[in-house]
Amino acid sequence: MIDFKELVLASHNAGKLKELQAMLGDAVRVRSIGEFSSVEPEETGLSFVENAILKARNAARISGLPALADDSGLAVDALGGAPGIYSARYADGQGDAANNAKLLAALRDVPDAERGAQFVCALALVRHADDPLPILCEGLWHGSILHEARGEHGFGYDPLFWVPETECSSAELPAEQKNRLSHRARAMALLLQRLGL
C-alpha cells in the first residue's frame, strides 16, 4: 500500500509527468525532478533496471521525496538485445532518424522470421535515496522490426516497430491505444497493482 502523498518523477518530460499523474489520480501528487535540479545523472548501469534504480535514488536524494524513475528502450533479438540501454544514443546522440537508419542497416540481411524485438520499460520506485527495497516493475511489448518506417505518430523506434496484435506499426497507432498497449503502460499497471491503486 502507498504511504506517501507526493513523489518526484526522475524525468524532465512533461508528457510522462502528465501521464503518470493521470494514472495515479488524486492519491499522490507527482512532481518533476526539474523543480529541484536540471542535472541528469550519468546512466552507468548495465541494465534497464540498474539505470532506473540509479535515476530514482538520485531524484530522491536531490528532492528528499519518494522517487519514481523509468529506463526504457528497444531490444532486438538478432542483435543480441541491442540497442538496449543505449537505444536513445544508438547513433551517437544524432537523434531518432539516425538511430532508425542505423538499426535498419544492422538488420539489412536479416529475414523476417528473425526480426523479433521488444520494447522494454523498467520502473523503480524508492521511498528514499537509500531504500534497500525498491519496488521494481518491468513491462515488455513484443513485436518485430519492419524493413522501412511506417506511420506518423510516436517517437524513437515507433515507425519501425511492428505490433502483431494490431497489424500495424507503433507509429500508426493513436496515442490512446499505444498508451494502453505499450511497455510503459504494462509496467505502470504492475506498479499501480503493487501500490494498491
- Annotated binding-site positions for Mg(2+): 42, 71
Residues 6+ apart with CB under 8 A from 66: 4, 6, 7, 8, 60, 125, 126, 127, 128
Residues forming the annotated binding site for substrate?
Answer: 11-16, 72, 155-158, 178, 183-184
d(CA 17, CA 30) in angstroms, rounded, equals 7
Name beta bridge partners: 73: 120
Cell output for 17: 509527468
Residue 131 is among the residues annotated as catalytic for this protein? no
d(CA 196, CA 131) in angstroms, rounded, equals 19
Cell output for 99: 538511430
Of 71, 96, 112, 131, the active-site residue reads 71
Query: Could you report how far apart the first and last alpha carbons of the chain are, in Å?
Result: 8
Cell output for 6: 507526493
Cell output for 186: 504494462
Say if residues 23 and 189 touch (Cβ distance below 8 Å): no
Q: Which residue has the cell 515507433?
A: 158
Q: Which residues are catalytic?
A: 71
